[in-house]
A and B are shown apart, each in its own frame.
Chain A
Amino acid sequence: QVQLQESGPGLVKPSETLSLTCTVSGGSINSNTYYWGWIRQPPGKGLEWIGTIYSGGSAYYNPSLKSRLTMSVDTSNNQFSLKLNSVTAADTAVFYCARVVFGYYYMDVWGKGTTVTVSS
């Protein structure tokens, strides 16, 4: 059974870069059946799609974050990552990684989430 686990610093200073990694276990990230995505949820608010990446490297970003966002895949370690630069307090959120089913584009497996706070 596939499981996803987010990891990264829980505290990031304003103007710095937020970096998170999602480790996929129980299955290969190098699949033509799935994409891999990031979603965030600010405290007390709803879900916001951040971006989605394919193991071949093609990535799709939320237009509102595109200028600050980079996603990548590390097939040798079965991981995918996000980097969000120039963060502000508005980027404080729980960040989830998820598996996205190719062809239907729903998110069928989610990580438990990791909280990132932007503060000096």
Chain B
Amino acid sequence: EIVLTQSPGTLSLSPGERATLSCRASQSVSSTYLDWYQQKPGQAPRLLIYAASSRATGIPDRFSGSGSGTDFTLTISRLEPEDFAVYYCQQYGSSLWTFGQGTKVELK
């Protein structure tokens, strides 16, 4: 089973700043099967990025994904007030899905 480790656990930033979130896999993951979700308190997760770098429908272009192999990154170019939330990476492989433990982006 592939384990995803996200870092940092918490990122304290101000609106307008750049956020860089990391997701590291315990073994190589196909870029096709690495995705990112955003979750706000009391809400269901929302798909942000699929296939490592493709934005989901309606997602602003300040969100971008990159990476390959075992190292993937979600970048928010300029934080808006509505971007403060928890972000999860997720992978699929061998008929199993796993999530990272999440990174909380909080207001500094």
Give the B-binding residues of A (Cβ under 8 A).
Answer: 37, 39, 46-49, 52, 60, 62-63, 96, 101, 104-108, 110-113
Residue interface bits B75-108, CB-to-A below 8 A is 1, else 0: 0000000000000101010011111111000000
B90 near A106: Cβ-Cβ < 8 Å: yes
Given A46-B88, A47-B88: A96 and B45 within 8 A (CB)?
A: yes
Q: Does A49 contact B99, Cβ atoms closer than 8 Å?
A: yes
Cβ of B3 to closest chain A Cβ, rounded Å: 12
In this complex, how many residues of chain B approach chain A with their Cβ under 8 Å: the count is 25
Contacts of B32 in A (CB 8 A): 104
Chain A residue nearest to B1 in the complex (CB): A63
Residues of B within 8 A of A (CB): 1, 32-33, 35, 37, 39, 43-47, 50-51, 56, 88, 90, 92, 95-102
23 A-B residue pairs with Cβ-Cβ distance under 8 Å, sorted by A, are A39-B45, A39-B99, A46-B88, A46-B99, A46-B101, A47-B99, A49-B96, A60-B95, A60-B96, A62-B96, A63-B1, A96-B44, A101-B50, A104-B51, A105-B33, A106-B47, A106-B90, A107-B37, A107-B45, A107-B47, A107-B90, A110-B44, A112-B44
